[in-house]
């Protein structure tokens, strides 16, 4: 979603800001802008609808000089995507503001500011913030004090950076609900909504906490918590490596990330599984004590991460003998749910910043859970910091908006959790040994499954003119069918639905005809024979089937059924392996359709508003 970059330096910062925005492009946005206090103390603001490239082209002719500036990529919430609604927003050519999140009480604030004589140029909630700070500045002796007195009036979520044209020595930042990280340089300091934006200029970061307001100058950072107390925040040395321009040999980040899965899975397992044992410490300090007490699990997540949770429910109940519920975070957070005794709350999120998931965690903390664990790919993210335990997937930065390697490594984390909990709940030593061995084989099998790319690329031709597609699976492959359908929707814009194959006759069979491709995930498990019957039901009604099947599943290709053989795997881990061909299918269909694979329309990588 929206991205923020800010800088206070001696050197000109325009290029640093634009490069920062470029590194945040993957998050999804529709317009971009910068504001810089130039040498003669005026505000130079440039905004463009569309890509950061359009902004940098506009800036190319005369890069505004100046060492203090803010920049933003906007993902529209209030007001259409347009140059007028793009950030930064300005009050009286004096205050400039960039903002992530939503100011929920923007309407009454707007009315009261209009009554005080402020004129609004945009339809955004953010412009309220610019005028509000200017109003408070009239009765405050510094920008910091003005922001501190303005923020209690705000309802909703914000990560914001504010500069004042009349004082280029500082910027003031505030965080509530939208992440901000301060990057520490030598004689210069920075801020961003994601450390990736600042990696070219620093590796030293301080993560702001909820309610923090900070004043950043070239040589100092002063942070105040929500009570106004001066506080210190720990400095983290980042080891994230990411070159925004580096897709390597690949045409898109998504394809690169699909191909990285064997090594990411290997990295996620490394040093954490030995024989039949998953080291409890992998989940954080105190995990063993907590795991021994767990009798129930509640999983909360959104989108692709929710599908990982759905797979985990099968595993946790089948192997670890622990009851488990899974719910979409935006639903969970707004209803009263029953908390079973000794329940562990698990959140799953690639970004660690998803607003609904974070809100669900915060709500659950008041409800008597034994503790909370997050499965996450971003160290230092809000979910990681606010959860009791964290399992870090080691997928590396995922740039493609549609999640791929983050998903498969989440599943690896959940598989390891199943073993770790199973150990305390009657999972036999022999089975644990087999599971450990199967995990170790997974990277190699994933590599093998990538060998299907050429075959799937050819197959994709048959999908490109379709309007709809149906995905079918049973048991722990049902969520994989859902994930396959989501991927196809996200990047090819083809309408796709997933059904548990047993549900076919309860409705979707009515849709079957030769225009509706039906994709089936068919590993060689206990449900294979049932699934075969479902396949016949579709065939009998003229449907065209594409079956991703275990080499031993004995499906025969013919005019109405195409078999794509997937390597044989311990059926436990089949959901991870079968994800890969479905990712490849949506990728190649999207390529034929010519969509923006890495940044699909209307979607964002980090969904920091609800
Ligand atoms: C959830 C999610 C992703 C999806 C996209 C938008 O995010 O729905 O699954 O691929 O990036 O957000 P998260 O909670 O896993 O970060």
Residues 299 and 417 in one domain: yes
Mean of pLDDT over the chain: 92
> 245 or 336: whose pLDDT is higher?
336
For position 533, which CATH number holds? Answer: 3.40.50.10490
Give pLDDT tens digits for 516-571.
999 999 888 888 888 888 888 888 888 889 999 998 888 888 888 999 999 999 99
Which string of b and e fits 359-398 if b means at least 16 CB within 10 Å? bbbebbeeeebbbbbbbbbbbbbbbbebbbbbbbbbbbbb
Residue 246 confidence class, pLDDT cut points 50, 70, 90: confident
Residue 439 lies in a domain: no
Ligand 1 binding pocket includes 377 (Cβ within 6 Å):
no
Residues 151 and 48 in one domain: yes
Give pLDDT tens digits for 389-444.
999 998 988 989 999 999 999 999 999 999 999 999 999 999 999 999 999 999 99
Q: Which residues pair with 156 in a beta bridge?
A: 103
Residue 606 lies in a domain: no
Residue 437 lies in a domain: no
- The H-or-E segment that residue 564 falls in is strand 561-566
Residues 385 and 507 in one domain: no
Determine the structural domain holding residue 588 and report its residue range. 447-601
Residues 477 and 451 in one domain: yes
Q: What are the percentages of helix, strand and coil residues in the chain, rounded to 5?
A: 40, 25, 40
Q: Kindly give the pairing relationship between strand 495-500 and strand 468-473.
A: parallel
Q: Find the angle CA(515)-CA(519)-CA(524) to the nearest 5 degrees.
A: 150
Task: Please answer whether residues 417 and 309 qualify as being in contact, where contact means their C-beta atoms are separated by less than 8 angstroms.
Answer: no
Which of 219, 237, 255 terminates a domain? The answer is 237
Mutate to test the pocket of ligand 1, among 605, 608, 609, 610 (most ligand atoms within 8 A of CB): 605
- The reported pLDDT for the residue numbered 245 is 54
**Above pLDDT 70, what percent of the chain?**
99
- The reported pLDDT for the residue numbered 153 is 96
Predicted confidence (pLDDT) at residue 495 exceeds the cutoff of 60: yes
Which of the residues 2, 264, 324, 376 is marked catalytic? Answer: 2
Q: Kindly give the pairing relationship between strand 230-231 and strand 189-192.
A: unpaired
302 annotated active-site = no
Residue 501 lies in a domain: yes
Q: How many domains, in total, are found in the chain?
A: 3
- Report d(CA 400, CA 599) in Å as an integer: 7
- The reported pLDDT for the residue numbered 328 is 98
The terminus-to-terminus CA distance of the chain in angstroms comes to: 11
Residues 460 and 329 in one domain: no
Residues 350 and 420 in one domain: yes
Residues 115 and 159 in one domain: yes
- The reported pLDDT for the residue numbered 62 is 67
Ligand 1 binding pocket includes 305 (Cβ within 6 Å):
yes
Task: Please answer whether residues 481 and 521 qualify as being in contact, where contact means their C-beta atoms are separated by less than 8 angstroms.
Answer: yes
Residue 502 confidence class, pLDDT cut points 50, 70, 90: confident
Give pLDDT tens digits for 154-203.
998 899 999 999 999 999 999 987 889 999 999 999 999 989 899 999 99
For position 81, which CATH number holds? Answer: 3.60.20.10
- Report d(CA 137, CA 145) in Å as an integer: 8
Residues 216 and 269 in one domain: no
Residue 90 lies in a domain: yes
Residue 243 confidence class, pLDDT cut points 50, 70, 90: low
- The reported pLDDT for the residue numbered 335 is 92
Nearest to residue 321, comparing CAs of 338, 296, 343?
296
- The reported pLDDT for the residue numbered 322 is 97
Residues 107 and 183 in one domain: yes
- The reported pLDDT for the residue numbered 225 is 95
- Residues shown for the chain: 610
Question: Which atom of ligand 1 sits closest to the CA of residue 28?
Answer: 11
Residues 422 and 476 in one domain: no
- The reported pLDDT for the residue numbered 504 is 85
For 104-192, list the strands marked E by DSSP: 158-164, 167-176, 181-184, 189-192
2 annotated active-site = yes
- The reported pLDDT for the residue numbered 476 is 95
Calculate how far, in angstroms, residue 65's C-alpha sits from the geometric centre of ligand 1.
37
Which of 383, 399, 427 terminates a domain? The answer is 427
- The reported pLDDT for the residue numbered 483 is 98
Which of 427, 460, 478 terminates a domain? The answer is 427
Measured by CA distance, the residue closest to atom 15 of ligand 1 is: 349
Residues 233 and 253 in one domain: no
Residues 387 and 463 in one domain: no
Task: Please answer whether residues 581 and 588 qualify as being in contact, where contact means their C-beta atoms are separated by less than 8 angstroms.
Answer: no
Query: Residue 132 in 3-state DSSP?
Result: helix
- The reported pLDDT for the residue numbered 101 is 86
- The H-or-E segment that residue 277 falls in is strand 277-278
Calculate how far, in angstroms, residue 407's C-alpha sits from the geometric centre of ligand 1.
9
Mean pLDDT of 595-609: 84
């Amino acid at each position: 979603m929206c991205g923020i970059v800010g800088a206070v330096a001696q050197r000109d910062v325009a290029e640093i800001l634009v490069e920062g925005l470029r590194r945040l492009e993957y998050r999804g946005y529709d317009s971009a802008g910068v504001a810089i206090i130039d040498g003669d103390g005026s505000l130079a603001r440039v905004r463009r609808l569309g890509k950061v490239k359009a902004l940098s082209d506009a800036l190319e002719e005369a890069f505004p000089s100046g060492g203090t500036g803010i920049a933003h990529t906007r993902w529209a919430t209030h007001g259409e995507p347009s140059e007028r609604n793009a950030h930064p927003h300005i009050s009286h050519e004096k205050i400039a503001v960039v903002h992530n999140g939503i100011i929920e009480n923007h309407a009454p604030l707007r009315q009261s500011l209009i009554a005080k004589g402020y004129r609004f140029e945009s339809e955004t909630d953010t412009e309220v913030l610019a005028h509000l700070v200017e109003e408070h500045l009239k009765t405050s002796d510094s920008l910091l004090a003005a922001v501190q007195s303005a923020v209690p009036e705000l309802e909703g979520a914000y990560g914001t950076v504010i500069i004042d044209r009349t004082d280029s020595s500082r910027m003031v930042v505030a965080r509530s609900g939208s992440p901000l990280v301060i990057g520490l340089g030598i004689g210069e300091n920075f801020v961003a909504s994601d450390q990736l934006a600042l990696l070219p200029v620093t590796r030293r970061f301080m993560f702001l906490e909820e309610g923090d307001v900070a004043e950043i100058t070239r040589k100092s950072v002063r942070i105040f918590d929500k009570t106004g107390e001066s506080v210190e925040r720990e400095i983290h040395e980042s080891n994230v490596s990411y070159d925004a321009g580096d897709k390597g040999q690949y045409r898109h980040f998504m394809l690169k990330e699909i191909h990285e899965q064997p090594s990411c899975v290997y990295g996620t397992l490394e040093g954490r599984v030995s024989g039949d044992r998953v080291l409890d410490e992998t989940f954080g300090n105190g995990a063993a004590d907590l795991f021994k007490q767990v009798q129930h699990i509640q999983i909360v997540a959104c989108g692709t991460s929710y599908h990982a949770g759905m797979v985990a429910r099968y595993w946790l109940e089948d192997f670890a003998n622990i009851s488990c519920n899974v719910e979409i975070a935006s639903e969970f957070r707004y209803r009263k749910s029953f908390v079973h005794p000794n329940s562990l709350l698990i959140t799953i999120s690639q970004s660690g910043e998803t607003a609904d998931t974070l809100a669900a965690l915060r709500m659950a903390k008041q409800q008597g859970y034994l503790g909370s664990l997050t499965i996450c790919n971003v160290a230092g993210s809000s979910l990681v910091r606010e959860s009791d335990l964290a399992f870090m997937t080691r997928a590396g930065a995922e740039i493609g908006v549609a999640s791929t390697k983050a998903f498969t490594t989440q599943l690896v984390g959940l598989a390891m959790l199943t073993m770790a909990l199973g150990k305390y709940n009657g999972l036999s030593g022999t089975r644990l040994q087999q599971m450990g061995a199967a995990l170790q084989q997974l990277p190699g099998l994933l590599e093998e499954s990538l060998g299907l790319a050429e075959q799937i690329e050819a197959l994709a031709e048959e999908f490109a003119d379709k309007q709809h597609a149906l995905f079918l699976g049973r048991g722990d492959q049902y969520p994989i069918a859902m994930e396959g359908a989501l991927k196809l929707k996200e990047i090819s814009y083809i309408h796709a639905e997933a059904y548990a194959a047993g549900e076919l006759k309860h409705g979707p069979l009515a849709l079957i005809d030769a225009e509706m491709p039906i994709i089936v995930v068919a590993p060689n498990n206990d449900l294979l024979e049932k699934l075969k019957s479902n396949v016949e039901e579709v065939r009998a009604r003229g449907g065209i089937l594409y079956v991703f099947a275990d080499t031993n599943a004995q499906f025969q290709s013919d005019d109405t059924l195409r078999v794509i053989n997937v390597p044989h795997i311990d059926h436990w881990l089949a959901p991870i392996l079968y994800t890969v061909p479905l990712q490849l299918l949506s990728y190649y269909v999207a390529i034929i359709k010519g969509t923006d694979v890495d940044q699909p329309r209307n979607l964002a990588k980090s969904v920091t508003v609800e």
